[in-house]
């Protein structure tokens, strides 16, 4: 799997390069700013790009804006935002149009290398990988949306786990309920939100995220 890394902190950048190389990934480029990221992705067209949010020159939202550009210009490239910060406005834009192959993880909440590698692989394969904290911010940002207000507390729990990218079986295990009960909750959620049911977990989760993200 081919990866481009954009991270302005040299120690973090080199650490990611070593971590991924040791696990068989091909790191095509490791850059420190958004313009270099755009150029590296255009040249290498990797399977996935790992992108920090705050990079030179302003250290505000350069990474997320570059991520949105990459999704538009290179739709086959997965994007994994890896940051200390949650930026709901750009995160919603990143997820809204075609959110398959998108991840958003928080640096200080990734404690297991295997989980990070799994999330990266999932995003590169067209799946999603969202930190629960990010999901929470997105849901709070869209909490005034009519359908979400009608959900029960349990349905909100199921929705949050759906948004993290979990399957019905994964949700059942997390909430210690049966898959059949999860299916009923999912059906209720889609009915209340006015969203069509789908056999694809990705399409289901992404439709929900578009709604709750406002």
Q: How far apart are CA 51 and CA 34, in angstroms?
A: 9
Q: Check residue 214 and give its pLDDT.
A: 47
Name the pLDDT band for 195 (thresholds 50, 70, 90). low
Asked if pLDDT for residue 60 goes beyond 90, the answer is no
pLDDT surpassing 60 at residue 65: yes
> Which backbone phi and psi does 204 adopt, to 5 degrees?
-65, -50
- E strands along the chain, which residues? 2-6, 26-31, 48-51, 78-83, 102-106, 128-130
Sheet of 48-51: strand order equals 26-31, 2-6, 48-51, 78-83, 102-106, 128-130
User: What pLDDT was estimated at residue 6?
Assistant: 98
Check if the beta carbon of residue 86 is closer than 8 Å to that of residue 63: no
State residue 150's pLDDT score. 78
How does pLDDT run across 88-101, given as a tens digit for each residue? 777 777 876 666 78
| CB contact at 8 A, 203 and 165 | no
Share of the chain above pLDDT 70, in %: 83
The pair phi, psi for residue 177, each rounded to 5°, is -135, 170
DSSP sequence for 28-69: EEEESSHHHHHHHHHHH--SEEEE-SS-TTTTSSHHHHHHHH
Predicted confidence band of residue 209 (pLDDT cuts 50, 70, 90): low
pLDDT > 80? residue 213 = no
Least trusted range by pLDDT, from 4-18, 59-73, 193-207: 193-207
CA 96 to chain centre: 11
Instruction: Give Cα separations from 75 to 42, 102, 180 (angstroms).
Output: 11, 11, 35
Q: Please give the structure tokens belonging to residue 137.
A: 């911010």
CA distance linking residue 104 with residue 51, whole number of Å:
9
Q: Which two tokens stand for residue 208?
A: 């929900």
pLDDT > 90 in the chain, percent: 49
pTM of the model: 0.73
Distance CA 32, CA 94 (A): 21
pLDDT in tens, 151-192: 888 988 888 787 777 788 989 999 999 999 999 998 888 777
Q: Per residue in 136-155, pLDDT tens?
A: 777 666 554 556 677 888 98
């Amino acid at each position: 799997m081919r990866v481009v890394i954009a991270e302005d902190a040299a120690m973090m950048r080199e650490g990611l390069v070593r971590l991924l190389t040791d696990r068989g990934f091909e790191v095509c480029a490791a850059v420190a700013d958004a313009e270099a990221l755009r150029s590296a992705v255009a040249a290498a067209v990797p399977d996935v790009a790992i992108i920090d949010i705050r990079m030179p020159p302003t250290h505000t939202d350069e990474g997320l804006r570059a991520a949105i550009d990459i999704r538009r210009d290179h739709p086959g490239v997965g994007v994994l935002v890896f940051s200390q910060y949650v930026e709901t406005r750009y995160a919603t834009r990143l997820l809204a149009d075609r959110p398959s192959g998108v991840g958003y993880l928080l640096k200080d909440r990734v404690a297991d290398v295997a989980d990070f590698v799994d999330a990266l692989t999932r995003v590169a394969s067209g799946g999603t990988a969202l930190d629960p904290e990010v999901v929470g911010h997105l849901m709070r940002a869209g909490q005034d949306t009519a359908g979400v207000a009608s959900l029960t507390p349990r349905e909100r729990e199921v929705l949050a786990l759906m948004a993290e990218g979990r399957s019905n079986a994964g949700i059942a295990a997390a909430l210690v309920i049966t898959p059949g009960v999860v299916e009923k909750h999912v059906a209720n959620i889609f009915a209340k939100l006015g969203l069509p049911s789908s056999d694809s977990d990705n399409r289901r989760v992404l439709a929900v995220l578009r709604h709750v993200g406002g």
